[in-house]
Amino acid sequence: MHDLDTVQSILENKGGLLAVDKPSGVSSHTLVNWARKVFGIRKVGHTGTLDPLASGLLLLLVGRKYTKQQPKYLKQDKKYLVTAQLGITTDTYDAMGRRVSEKFWTEIEDITEKAISTALNSFQGESEQTVPAFSAVKRKGKKMYDLALSGELSTADLPKRTITILDITLISVSKDSSAQEFFVTFSVSCGSGTYVRSLVHDVGQLLGCGAIVKELRRTRIGSTQITDATVCPVLPKQYIIHKK
């Protein structure tokens, strides 16, 4: 584990490394701004963005001494707890996006746990992943999510990158025939640069039914665990993003 700091020690030393348990519905940038106000320090960064829908471990780098070390922290592998919903696709690959397609219950209810486990395991190791359209990666000098929102982004514009899945483990499968909902929960440890939303989308494509991220929680960055996070800031309601 890294030598983590407390709010008090960062105030005293004018810098430090702070582990935050980010709540769902809040952007990573919001927590950066929160830290700037709390510590009165402009130079604040983090060690890897969490989508607004996601919760969990976010390491805040407070002060120039720590933000200069950001590249080192960004390279560290990460672990997530993921709940995916089968039978649905959206433009963002998660529950916050515009629905693109939906399967009938009869088309997905017979998908077996073995088939799901096989699909997940097929991504173990190195593979090529397409960066999702709704991401902060830049194309044509603009962030891709801005291009996607304005309709300026085509599938051909989406870059690909090599990712590494270190471990992927199926935890549970939950079918609700009355609500006609199918959920899969799994854990994944992956190298830097991996988009879990794209991973879930690709698993859904492999199963032939589509899939989106319903819930996502980051539980580890390098050797720092979510249990090391000592701060969960209480934010004003205006900072909370509406969740579907």
Tell whether 171 and 57 lie within a shared domain: no
CA 68/CA 79 separation, integer angstroms: 24
Tell whether 144 and 45 lie within a shared domain: no
244 occurs within a structural domain: no
Tell whether 135 and 193 lie within a shared domain: yes
Minimum mean pLDDT range among 23-37, 88-102, 120-134, 151-165: 151-165
Q: How far is residue 233 CA from its own chain's centroid?
A: 19
Minimum mean pLDDT range among 80-84, 220-224, 239-243: 239-243
The pLDDT confidence band at residue 239, using thresholds 50, 70 and 90, is very low
CA 208/CA 127 separation, integer angstroms: 19
CA 52/CA 49 separation, integer angstroms: 9
Tell whether 89 and 208 lie within a shared domain: yes
Tell whether 162 and 209 lie within a shared domain: yes
Residues 6+ apart with CB under 8 A from 132: 92, 93, 144, 158, 195, 197, 198, 201
Whichever domain contains 27, its CATH number is 3.30.2350.10
Give Cα separations from 119 to 82, 143, 161, 188 (angstroms): 15, 31, 20, 13
151 occurs within a structural domain: yes
Number of domain units in the chain: 2
CB atoms within 10 A of CB 196: 21
Which residue range(s) make up the domain with 233?
7-76+222-239
Average pLDDT, the chain: 89
What are the structure tokens assigned to 205, written together?
């494509």
CA 244/CA 235 separation, integer angstroms: 20
Tell whether 72 and 18 lie within a shared domain: yes
Q: How far is residue 132 CA from its own chain's centroid?
A: 12
What are the structure tokens assigned to 32, written together?
């950066």
Give Cα separations from 93 to 150, 176, 202, 244 (angstroms): 18, 21, 10, 13
Q: What predicted TM-score, i.e. pTM, was given to this entire model?
A: 0.90
Give Cα separations from 237 to 25, 49, 83 (angstroms): 10, 21, 26
| Per-residue model confidence as pLDDT tens digits over 172-225 | 999 999 999 999 999 999 999 999 999 999 999 999 999 999 999 999 999 999
Task: Tell me which residues are annotated as active site.
Answer: 51
Q: Does residue 178 sit in helix, strand or coil?
A: coil
What separation, in Å, do the N-terminal and C-terminal C-alpha atoms of the chain show?
Answer: 35
Tell whether 101 and 64 lie within a shared domain: no
